[in-house]
Amino acid sequence: MRSSDRRPRNWSDLVVRLFIFGLAALLLMALQISGNLQPVQSAITQLTSPAQLSATSITDSLTGFFQGLLQLRTLAQDKAALERINAQLEAEIDTLKEVEIENEQLRLLLDFAQARPRLELRGAQIVSRKIGEESTNFIDTIQIDLGTRQGVDIGMPVVTNNGLVGRVSAVNESVATILLLTDPSSSASAILADSRLNGVVRGDASGSLIMDFIPQGPTFQVGEVVLTSGLGGRFPKGIVIGTVTAIESVANAVFQKAIIAPSVDFGSLELVSVITNFDPAEILPDVPATPGVAPTAAPGATVTPEPPPAAAPAAARPLLPTPTATPAQP
């Protein structure tokens, strides 16, 4: 049988090996100093360079792979953070746009107020709008966030910087209802800016305005601006209503009619102003009443009957023939 026992190493073998290693080290040092080791190094480098290049390439690839994974994770986190910042900035931009629009509207209202120093204007924001049909007729109203606590009362005119909106038809402590000029039950005495013809503007269910009761005969043109005339005391004078877009005239008719495009965009109202120092009066007839004939007023207007004239002084009374009568005998 082969013995599996190894021969024990003795000190002489160890000394021999150390001596050999020492000689080899001395030899390599001598070759290094003399410069004769360069060919050996070149040979060794040529032999080991492919393996070193392969190892380096594999190491670089693995390093790049793990660095790429780390960069992808970092990029994903950066993208999520940028998306959050972008969403916040877009929200801030939208808010700033709304503020800019509101500031522009307020600036225009301020310019309107400064151009009319005699009018006391109180700005209001529209809180709701009602468009529908009741059992009586079509209605077109809005509600604003002003009421009696802010000095708003029934009948007060409502305007924007573009022109006439309507007037207050109902009010409580905090909310007022505005009857728009486009409502068929609404009307306003008006005048054509160029031809100076008077008429009455009333609303129409189609959303446009109609200027009626324009005297027949004098001519006016499409494109003329229509203003409030101030007649009747319902609205202040000189507020823009709209522009003439069409003229309807019938031969032998007493009055002409015009279609008016409103200067106010009633579909996009946001801010309005209430004229709080204007005291609306009842509508009076535009023409003197003829004896025995009831006065006529604009459609939808309220006619206040005039009181009978007071008795004139005796000196100023006309002498009228009095019937002769036989005095009664006592």
Beta bridge partners of 132: 139
Token reading at 37 = 């080791």
Buried b (16+ CB within 10 A) or exposed e, 81-119: eeeeeeeeeeeeeeeeeeeeeeeebeeebeebbeeeeeb
Tens of each residue's pLDDT in the chain, 330 residues: 455 555 556 777 777 778 787 877 777 777 667 766 666 667 666 666 676 667 677 777 777 777 877 888 888 888 888 888 888 888 888 888 877 877 777 777 777 777 777 778 888 777 766 655 444 455 788 999 899 998 999 999 999 989 999 999 999 999 999 999 998 889 999 999 999 999 999 998 777 899 999 988 778 999 999 999 988 888 999 999 999 999 988 878 889 999 999 999 988 888 899 998 887 764 433 333 333 333 333 333 333 333 333 333 333 333 333 333 344 443
Tell me the backbone φ, ψ of residue 212, rounded to 5 degrees: -110, 175
Widest pairwise Cα distance in the chain:
192
**pLDDT of amino acid 309:** 36
Q: Dihedral (C-alpha) 277, 283, 288, 289: value to the nearest 10 degrees?
A: -150
Report how far residue 117's alpha carbon sits from residue 261's, in angstroms, rounded to the nearest whole number: 27
- Tell which phi-psi region holds residue 292, choosing left (phi > 0), alpha (psi between -120 and 50) or beta: left
Long-range contacts of 264-269 (CB under 8 A, 24+ apart): 264/160, 264/162, 264/163, 264/164, 264/165, 264/181, 265/162, 266/140, 266/165, 266/180, 266/181, 266/182, 266/207, 269/126, 269/129, 269/142, 269/160, 269/165
Query: How many CB atoms neighbour CB 37 within 10 A?
Result: 16
What is the reported pLDDT for 3?
52
Q: How far apart are CA 35 and CA 10, in angstroms?
A: 38
Task: Concatenate the DSSP letters of all residues of 176-208 into one string.
Answer: EEEEETTSTT-EEEEEETTT--EEEEEE-TTS-
Distances (CA, A) of 94 to 87, 97, 98, 268: 11, 5, 6, 18
Side-chain-side CA neighbours of 104 within 13 Å: the count stands at 6
Confidence (pLDDT) at 311: 36
pLDDT at 201: 95
Contact 39, 31 (CB under 8 A): no
Rounded distance between C-alpha atoms, residue 59 and residue 121, angstroms: 80
242 burial via Cβ count (<10 Å: 0-12, 13-18, 19+): buried
- The count of other CB atoms within 10 Å of the CB of residue 21 is 10
Q: How far is CA 49 from the centre of its chain?
A: 75
What per-residue confidence (pLDDT) applies to 7? Answer: 57
Query: How far apart, in whole angstroms, are the C-alpha atoms of residue 245 and residue 220?
Result: 11
Q: Match 């003329």 to its residue by tokens.
A: 224
